[in-house]
Structure 1
């Protein structure tokens, strides 16, 4: 989220990177895999009302990720690079150049590639082949701050934050399909309803929440909460959206049952509440408090905080992913130029890894789940 600094002071080639862009200190291995055929999108089956994350438990990998290297991808927004980390050794393996200000690394709906969203300068989406961790040719795309996918896999949704719109594109070729203008400023993060037909989206610059009907291509309702709303995450039972607000220093509870968003409550978590990540067993929600260097832990069943983990010496935990086995939480340190690795059982910081400047939307891949809905850790 760029404005947060004001608060705190045709076909697609998945191949090698052009030599003029390479800055790696260690050369990645050459790909030995054949080009994968593009699968036909299919609508997912409902997972039921009890746990929308039921298909993303530890070990529940899709056959689509067979052959993918286990890696953590860190977009460094201030030096226009992506760091590639081996999570077993905690070592940065190599770093490669992308277009200006990469914001997030996003797994595709079919889990066959990842996309690096760069929304400044040339503006583009750069694909990464997870079988090699190597980037391909960037695709010019207007203002891609973030990227999501409809549950049926028919559309990728480019979140054009500065343009105040959502651009629906082909999820494989990124060719434009249609656009939806939104009546707010700074649309950035969202999550899907249990049915997948609509989303609750946060608009950080105007302090609004929008309930958007993707099927009907219209905004059904809005709620002005003020502040600076950030990440959005649906509860496992599909009843409540949690919305982190960096200015309010906590999370709002928003009713997920109706067309118009309704505020049910607010929970203070810590200064600069920002990223939201469910535990692998969907019993807890991890909330990064970027302004105070901590992570708050919420119990989904009681909707109460049960722990707070503090980074020794402080820090700026931002976006990231839970590890596939659920034992670790990986978060970028936005203003600290590092990555934090937390033990999700004890809350201890296991490792602090030096990366590039301004790390943001970190992704740990592969992950359990049948498909990706986008952002950095949103699987069903």
Structure 2
């Protein structure tokens, strides 16, 4: 409670603003664009990588309408004859709000979906492991960052066919555009360098140094002055000038697994909202002086984030909780949670996506995609640690015959090897069954995945021995001591 009372005081102090402030314009549009009040015509879309679905939510009453099923769960998608999409992950939308572009990392695809009918209009296959896609502000092109290679695939905005490629630093993570459509900004997930590119002729005209290599997300402010990007490996967020010479303005220590960033504008100013996966929080900063004005607990592993068309809300996908959280930007509190598919990644809010009708055609119920189990892990030997403050969250996503495990690990030594395992004792001792080896990033965190009949082992019948999740130091061949254990 103390945190929120302090936040309220800070927010109140921001009420004194210049009379010229305009209460309009939300990302990715310009500040001069009109606000669009929330209505039943709007849609919130979340890309879900383990159920291979796109959830569709009506923000007027925060109700899940159904999912667009682009692929099947494991192990069906292991087949050499599998034709669906795999690891549905990234998302963007057209300036006329009639099309969403959905990127599937594992099948190298961009699927274009009609917002009014939820029907797939076209699928374009690009290079290895694309990550995100977005339309240029004029709608003439779609830029797809091909993270497994070294280029942006530029698609025609009407035919969706590739027309050219822009060579960039290896591992492009995401692209976003200045509201005026002059520049595209492309950060990297493998190299510490972001580039600015002129949209008209596809020329690189600026280089911005990233403090570390792993940038998953980038966003431009509606006032056209700044570009923000997150660094997932070091837990930082950086800001640079949106115009030449693209000078770095600020580096913020936001926290482990800093995921996505976006903006909301209201009568108090323009604010950046950053999802901090390792802390299960969203941090809110002013864009004029970079002061932090709020910290919002939202749920496990917040990932994608996007504002409503009027800036009164931001929506956050909770990757390890299979929910969509709605934040009221006036109070900076969560006002609703909507059940969605498995492991939400990118989120977009599309105002007036369905101009008429119900917009529910072709949608399917969640089904198995709505089934998961959540756990937390605390430091070994520290039973006093409250479960809601445990450094590691774990989710088992039910795929039918097997489960996908995802652990958002924090609180460990940076750049050290560890093993996530099943132990026969709650204290992490005894015989261990390794699930996945990993090395922490410079912030002492990691996203760890495994797949198998894990839930049956953890929640077995009486005749089956129970197992407990544990993280131990070392490797699968040289297991060390427990460092984190499952909260019972």
Q: TM-score, normalised by structure 2?
A: 0.58
Contact 2:40 2:60 in 1 (8 A): no
Higher relative contact order (CA 8 A, sep 6+): 1
How many residue pairs align between the two structures?
A: 309
Q: CA deviation at 1:52?
A: 7.2
Contact 2:30 2:224 in 1 (8 A): no
Q: Does 1:222 align with 2:222?
A: no
CA distance in 1, matches of 2:100, 2:63: 20
Match of 1:74 among 37, 46, 51: 46
Whole-Å separation in 2 of the counterparts to 1:52 and 1:338:
26
Of 269, 281, 288, 1:294 maps to 281
Runs of 5+ in structure 1 lacking a partner? 1-46, 62-66, 369-380
2:94 to 81, 98, 108: 108
C-alpha change, 1:107 and 1:256, in structure 2 (3 Å) is: closer
Are residues 109 and 135 of structure 1, via their aligned partners in 2, closer, same or farther at CA, if it must alter by over 3 Å? Answer: same
Alignment of 1:287-326 (within 5 A): 287-311=274-298, 314-326=299-311
SS in 1 for 2:68: strand
Which residues of structure 2 form unaligned runs of 5+?
A: 1-23, 71-84, 354-488
Distance 1:192 1:129, change over 3 A: closer
Q: Matched residues in 1 for 2:125 and 2:196: separation?
A: 25
Q: What residue number does 1:190 align with?
A: 175
Contact 1:126–1:135 (CA under 8 A) maintained in structure 2: no
Of stretches 141-150 and 192-201 in structure 1, the one that deviates more from structure 2 is: 192-201
Equivalent residues in 2 for 1:1-380, closer than 5 Å: 53-59=30-36, 69-98=41-70, 99-121=85-107, 123-132=108-117, 134-143=118-127, 144-182=130-168, 184-193=169-178, 195-227=180-212, 228-259=214-245, 261-281=246-266, 283-311=270-298, 314-366=299-351
User: Which structure would you say has the larger Rg?
Assistant: 2
8 Å Cα contact 1:280/1:322 also seen in 2: no
Partner SS, residue 361 of structure 1: strand
- Contact in 2 for aligned 1:322/1:330 (Cα 8 Å): yes
Higher share in strand: 2
Q: CA deviation at 1:166?
A: 1.0
TM-score if structure 1 supplies the norm length?
A: 0.73
SS in 1 for 2:344: coil
TM superposition outliers: structure 1 runs of 4+ over 4 Å: none
State the match for 1:3 in structure 2.
none
The structural deviation recorded for 1:324 is 2.4
Shift of 1:69: 3.6
RMSD: 2.8
